[in-house]
Amino acid sequence: MPGFEVFGKEERAEVNDVLESGVLMRYGFEGMRNGHWKAKEFEEAFAKKMKVSHCQLVSSGTSALTVALAAAGVGAGDEVIMPTFTFVASFESIMAIGAVPVLVDIDDTLTLDPAAVEKAITAKTKCVMPVHMCGSMADLKALKHICDAHDLLLLEDACQAIGGSFDGKPLGSYGDLGCFSFDFVKTITCGEGGAVITNNEVFKTHADQYQDHGHDHIGKDRGAETHPHLGYNFRISELNAAVGVAQLRKLDDILALQKKHYRLLRDALASIEGVNFRRVPESGEENYSFLNIFLPSEEKAKKAHKALSEAGIDGCFYWYTNNWHYINGWEHLKEAKSLGALSEPIRTKLAQLSTRQFPKSDHWMGRNLSFLVKVGWSHEEVKRRAHIMKETLQTLL
């Protein structure tokens, strides 16, 4: 990770197809395309890769979440349960359609705690949104059981975990809908882009329509299409999709390299007393894009982060004090700093965050260090990094 590390002639060839045709938009202009439909090609290939019936490409991972929620009928006043550790896009996408984000604790998977989810369910709850952070998954079996028992949607945010699996299924395909990001720093990239996957025919149709102003996409005359529903513009461009076509072909090789590098780093740290690894749910496999460890205390984690950075280990994250990925840094959310007026249900729920504590999340996040696993490293570089990480942590602990 990330996919831009392996940019090459394959991406340039796909993009050049689009540039030579001059058609940068994914819809229309059939006579000018020279047979190139990059978004359609990517969607078909990605659906096959994810072992689902349908894929809808969109402009970003954030828009994928928004489109997925809208496609499933989530809207004003509905509550969506999400974790305290994620990217800000999670609550942004929920609030964009007028729904209410309900934040709950994580556990040692660094993802949604099923027990906390069950406690947070109300009559207004419509959806549970686990976020498979840093390459590994939530306890999907437990979450699905909860969703089935309460007739709730299970929407997987797999934006950081493409290529991982649970119970033999690709992450994103286990729930009712799955979402992915193909931004510049993801495992595979379109530059900017995202995808919604599902096996549900209704959700598929709604996603297709909503991401393109409500167009029904029936026939070959775009100007004659009807608008069964209100929508918005979350379309991907042919240029971005073209990059993704080439990147998707490289996914298996990227994952294999990530796993190889991950194993070398993990093996180096496994014998250090005081170092523990995040829990991967039984029958799950990470995509190996991050190595996550827990240290004995918050103090030790802070010191280790500083020492590792000083030792030249870049890509070491202490999310607990990060502005974008943990609730401690989301003052703009807690204080409802919106450019436009927010609905009363949203304002009421956000007001609770200013005083609410998340001790279980703090327990895990305060002791966590997360190491990015790159595919561009040589074998010697991985060994060098593993040696520095091991010596630094042993000295500290």
Q: How would DSSP label each residue in 143-178? A: HHHHHHHHT-EEEEE-TT-TT-EETTEETTSSSSEE
The one-letter amino acid code at 110 reads L
- Spatial separation of the C-alpha atoms in residues 245 and 44, rounded to whole Å: 10
72: helix, coil or strand? coil
Q: How would DSSP label each residue in 269-333? A: HTTSTT-EEPPPPTTEE---SEEEEE-S-HHHHHHHHHHHHHTT--SEE-GGG-TTTBGGG-HHH
Which residue shows structure tokens 């390299």?
257
Identify the bridge partners of residue 82 per DSSP, sorted by sequence position: 103
- Spatial separation of the C-alpha atoms in residues 69 and 153, rounded to whole Å: 9
Cβ pair 235, 192 in contact under 8 A = no
User: Active-site residue among 126, 186, 204, 349?
Assistant: 186
186 catalytic per annotation:
yes
242: helix, coil or strand? helix
| Beta strand spans in the chain (E) | 54-58, 79-83, 100-104, 125-128, 153-157, 165-166, 169-170, 177-181, 194-198, 276-277, 284-285, 290-294, 316-317, 368-372
Proportion of the chain in helix, strand, coil states, percent, rounded to 5: 45, 15, 40
- Contacts of 32 by beta carbon, 8 Å cutoff, 6+ apart: 21, 22, 23
Cα torsion 219, 221, 223, 225 to 10°: value is 0
Residue 209: closest CA among 182, 180, 230: 230
Cβ pair 39, 26 in contact under 8 A = yes
- Contacts of 40 by beta carbon, 8 Å cutoff, 6+ apart: 26
Q: Which residues are catalytic?
A: 186
